[in-house]
Amino acid sequence: MKQRSSKARYRRVVLKMSGEFLRGAQGHGIDPAAVHYLGREIRAAHRLGVQVGLVIGGGNIFRGLEAHAQGLDRTTGDYMGMLATVINGLALQGGLEKAGVPTRLQTAIAMQELAEPYIRRRAIRHLEKGRVVIFVGGTGNPYFSTDTAAALRASEIGAEVLLKATKVNGVYSADPVRVRGARMYRHLSYLDVLRKNLKVMDSTAVSLCMDTGLPIVVFNLGTAGNIARVLRGREVGTLVSDAPRTRIARRAARRGEAVSDFI
Model confidence at 262, in pLDDT bands (50, 70, 90)? very low
Map residue 37 onto helix, strand or coil.
Answer: helix
Taken in order of first residue, the domains within the chain and their CATH numbers are 12-255 (3.40.1160.10)
| Residue-wise pLDDT tens digits, 18-58 | 999 999 888 789 999 999 999 999 999 999 999 999 999 99
pLDDT of residue 69: 80
Model confidence at 245, in pLDDT bands (50, 70, 90)? low
Taken in order 140, 192, 12, 89, the sign of the CA dihedral is positive
Residue 255 has pLDDT above 60, yes or no: no
Round to whole Å and give the CA distance between 68 and 123.
33
What rounded mean pLDDT belongs to the chain? 89
Neighbours of 117 (CB within 10 A): 14
Residue 104 has pLDDT above 90, yes or no: yes
pLDDT of residue 180: 86
Residue 107 has pLDDT above 50, yes or no: yes
| Residue-wise pLDDT tens digits, 54-76 | 999 999 998 777 777 888 899 99
pLDDT of residue 5: 54
Residue 235 has pLDDT above 80, yes or no: yes
131: nearest Cα among 96, 169, 80, 84? 96
Q: How far is CA 259 from CA 89, 102, 183, 252, in A?
A: 37, 40, 15, 6
Model confidence at 2, in pLDDT bands (50, 70, 90)? low
Strands 216-220 and 132-136, by their bridges, are unpaired
Q: How far is CA 244 from CA 24, 131, 216, 248, 262, in A?
A: 34, 31, 12, 7, 13
**Residues 6 or more apart from 225 whose CB is under 8 A from it?**
41, 44
Q: Are 159 and 214 in contact (CB under 8 A)?
A: yes
Residue 256 has pLDDT above 50, yes or no: no
**Residues 6 or more apart from 95 whose CB is under 8 A from it?**
35, 36, 38, 39
